[in-house]
Structure 1
Amino acid sequence: MLLIHDGETTADASVPRTGGVPLVPDGFVWPLCRECDGAMQFLAHLPLPFGTVAVFFCQNDPGMCDDWDATGGANAAYLFAGEGLSPAAVPAEGETALGAVTALRPHPEDASAPGPVLGRLGGEPDWIQADETPACPSCTARMAFTAELEEGADFATAANFGSGGRGYVFTCEPCGEAAFLWQC
């Protein structure tokens, strides 16, 4: 399923989107980069049939923290099960937000896309480099490919994936784990 640019939306919309504020369970603590200790940037909100994925990566000093590595500590992805998610408290410091909030509309891959393609849900990853599918940190099984994210339709909506890069989201539904990495 393609993810098509569907215009701007509210910062806390429950639709698939990039930017804005993550919807999280009570007690959520905003992730900090293990390398620079800065608050990570919220990248994407992806509601799925089995939960909601929230994706973050470090943009405090772009290119200096290993935000392309699923286990390097400069990115984070969370799989939240169930209902009752609410907007997170956003840290006052750090590069925590994209320049705009963009709705992503699912669209069949076999049909002509009516707008810019900003990613896709499911299928197989279209790796730019070698396969880097992460292992689940809980059960060590190979995680399931969940979504691919493109940089963005314009500078305000773009994630910094190193100019022409692509982000990859993985989940382990039984363990409730998620992971994120990017390649360029």
Structure 2
Amino acid sequence: MHPILFVGIAGYPARVVKLMTYSGPAAADAPGTRTGGMPYAPSDFEWPRCRECEGPMQFLAQVSMADVELGGVGLFSAFMCQNDPGLCDEWDPRAGGNRAFIFLADVTGTLPPPGDGVTLLDETCAVDFEQVDVEDYLDAPEQWCERSGRSAREVLGQIGGRPAWLQNDETPSCDICAHRMTFVVQLEEGHDHRTSMNFGGGGCGYGFRCHTCATAAFLWQR
């Protein structure tokens, strides 16, 4: 079942929100959409390092584009420096403290992390998808909690649709073609503070892609 789309504000399509919800622990090499674990990547891919501290970044999540859009191909993957949290401008899409990638048909398997730095989350989380009939993602967790009887902490984010900004709209433009990027995923910090991502304590991460150039970008707000 696919949600109905119609033209909304700020150039984004309004739609039924597609929530990502916690579905228990997963294997570190589980295929498809998940948070944590090891990234699927091309055989010649090199683990990204922070431009500021030069340490390897932490792998946050991968999202199957087939889960985001009908006929979607490839994986979106996000990394962020956690070697010196807050010191490497990891919230900015261009400062060098995070990286995002679109991997297409050249993905061959999972990539083990380098031996130094903070590279993996403490838990790999499987993801379920739940459609909630609201226009704004910020209204969706409460409705889902009422319907499911589960905690709002088990909402891991949303995919597709439009971002729900905690501050101003910071949709990035592609570095190659300069066109406004398309929203892929909004990530919450996680269901358990002991194993969660670090978006400043209560923030959200935002992932984008350029369909034309197969580039990607990531940032977070709090």
TM-score (normalizing by structure 1): 0.96
Corresponding residue for 2:115? Answer: 92
User: Aligned letter for 1:5?
Assistant: Y
The alpha-carbon deviation at position 15 of structure 1 amounts to: 2.5
Residue 5 (structure 1) aligned with residue 22 (structure 2): yes
Q: How many residues align?
A: 184
How big is the alpha-carbon RMSD for the aligned residues of Structure 1 and Structure 2?
Answer: 1.3
Corresponding residue for 1:105? Answer: 128
Residue 31 (structure 1) aligned with residue 48 (structure 2): yes
The alpha-carbon deviation at position 83 of structure 1 amounts to: 5.7
Structure 2 regions of 5+ residues with no counterpart? Answer: 1-17, 66-71, 134-142
Q: Name the structure where helix makes up a greater proportion of residues.
A: 2
1:120 aligns to what SS in structure 2? strand
Measure the CA separation in 2 of the matches of 1:122 and 1:63: 28
**1:22-101 equivalences in 2 (<5 Å):** 22-48=39-65, 49-82=72-105, 84-101=107-124
**1:98-137 equivalences in 2 (<5 Å):** 98-110=121-133, 112=144, 114=148, 115=150, 116-137=154-175
Work out the percentage of aligned pairs sharing the same amino acid: 46
Residue 143 (structure 1) aligned with residue 181 (structure 2): yes
Q: 1:12-51: CA deviations, max 9, x gaps?
A: 1113111110000110000000000000000001111221
TM-score (normalizing by structure 2): 0.80
The alpha-carbon deviation at position 138 of structure 1 amounts to: 1.3
Residue 170 (structure 1) aligned with residue 208 (structure 2): yes
User: Aligned letter for 1:62?
Assistant: P
